[in-house]
Structure 1
Amino acid sequence: MPSSSMKLFAALLVACLAQTSMAAIVVCKMDAQDGDTLTAACSVGVSGQPISLVGPGSGQQQLTGSQVSYTLDVNARSTLFECASEDDLLIIDSSQYSSQTLNNCEPPLLELRGCSNAILSNNTFISITRSTAQPGCTISKYGPCVAVVGAASQETDWSFSSLANTFTSTICSSISATSGRLGGAFAFEHNDSPGAMSAVVKGSTFTSTACDFGGAIHSANASLTLTDSTFTGTLAVDGGAVQFVGTNATVAPIQKLQVKSSTFTSNTAVTTGGIIQVTGGAVSIDGSTFTNGEAQIGQCVWLDKCESYTENQITGNTWTGCAKPESPPISWCKAHDGNNWTTCGMEGPRECY
């Protein structure tokens, strides 16, 4: 919910229909104005014609509400939200997506661009697959479900929140490094936003999700906080559950990955980071459980730089099934700060040990 100090606004919502060989794509564009807020549906009509909903203005019916809330027609397939103002508040709540197959050229089911205050809550995604490309099309770089992308209009720091969402069997088929698709559930990209981006994933569940980079979540140049969430049976080339890509340590601000009170079980990467792969930025992990990670390098957590890790940032975690039997003891995994190292869970370049 917006604070009392947040500017109220009217939203111009335009649903534009574009036909693909597979299904309709809905484009919803919000333009903030001073005034009331809009509660309305963004969907495609039964007849297949687009629906246009216009907020307060000359000759227009005034649509009021306490927040901007969209009920999506999930059968309309891919939906792009473009927020024109940092004051736009986008909330997508209690939608259900199931049994859909997108080719590699279609956008993800939800793409949010330039939306500084977006919240996804209590949504369910089941059996969503991104499959092979159609001839002659431009391949989407995102996974099948949700992409949150920055825009030049976001001049101040901004955030995205995922609250109590469920993802089950949301996959990119035939995963490979060359395909380069990002995030089996979420892709977070700072992109060309002048403001710093942060994403919070809380109370969410990811089961049998897969994509090329980040089996459940891919985050690039954005701080990411994972809290009270569960990741089970996820798969990727790198970052079996989570791939986190931060800026170089010499660049400010430094993005941070924070993992709190979360559970990771039977996650797999083909190459590095069976559960989490960290490239740049900083990491802290607290009160979480890691069980049975699998990868060529970094069975549970792989850190590419020594500065990504200090002992006092890794506290109160349980690590089981995280290292191959032939792996040598690693100094990072010595007893400290309440960690239970049944097997070593943190790996990185040899010079860091």
Structure 2
Amino acid sequence: MKRRQFIKHTSLTGVGLAVGSSILGCDDTNSKKITEDHKSVITDLKSLPLVIATWGVKDATSKAMEVLQAGGNALDAVEQGCRIEEANEKGQSVGKGGLPDRDGNVTLDACIMDKHGNCGAVVYLKNITHAVSVARKVMEDTPHVMLAGEGALQFAISQGFEPEELLTEASKSAWEKWKVEAKYKPIINIENHDTIGMLAIDKNGDISGACTTSGLAYKMAGRVGDSPIIGSGLFVDNEIGAAVATGLGEEVVKTVGSFLVVELMRQGKSPQEACEEAIHRIVKKPNSNYKDFQVGYIAVNKKGETGSYSIHQWFSMTKFQDGVNEQIQSDFYNKTDHS
């Protein structure tokens, strides 16, 4: 609901309270009109439940929707959806099989956030495939928001997670080839990494989100990007909507991107308008070298409207709604480099 519509709606509500018994004395014609007005508000909502995620991850959104259709909540859905990609060894960007840091260690970052604003995160986690589930345990079973490194690993083991080697032969081979020159430069849409960020609204209209990644490939040991940072990689406000980011994390952190998208929606912007404005905040910064990196956002508001936008072409969002699970190409800012 846009701010102007909200003001109009709440003003009418206030009038209704003021006249009280007068409404009870209305004739059938006025009662019918009130009912029709109410229906028009309800039909303005998009069909629920729904799931959206960064990039082409139909298996992940399918799993999340399966949870929702079985009566599960949005928090369960985003966790289970993200776990699909974490277990996908061929992805080389999330969970097992992720590309390592320059020392050959696969380290994972993840976070999760529920409808109440509770959140949990892990950073620099080794030897545990399902970082998103560890993040949920941090949220639910500790007084903390974030655990890092060895502490995160020991906590995961104490919660029953089984340690395993995350560096697959394919990722090891790619790392060994990289070591020949040992150079790092982001490649747009193949930033030597990527992320799955997922947002869901369940049948009750409640929103949750999650984000998980193996981060920049061949990064310096200890590097953490935006993905596990609440407000940067992910933010959920159950009264307004939610957003998640992907791309070069350092640039997302500088503008606290996902929080910014949600706050723009709070001001009355649609999810699409909010994603576009957040990208503009990055590219319009003094001395921005945005032509050398990619950032993309996806967002959903309380009405079930969605949006996505990126700096460069070929970013996409997967959306599962009304029985359709589809990958949608995002609009983008830098059209000068493309025909």
The two structures share one fold, judged by TM-score above 0.5: no
TM-score normalised by length of structure 1: 0.30
**Does 1 or 2 have the higher relative contact order (CA < 8 Å, sep 6+)?**
2
Larger helix proportion of the pair: 2
TM-score normalised by length of structure 2: 0.31
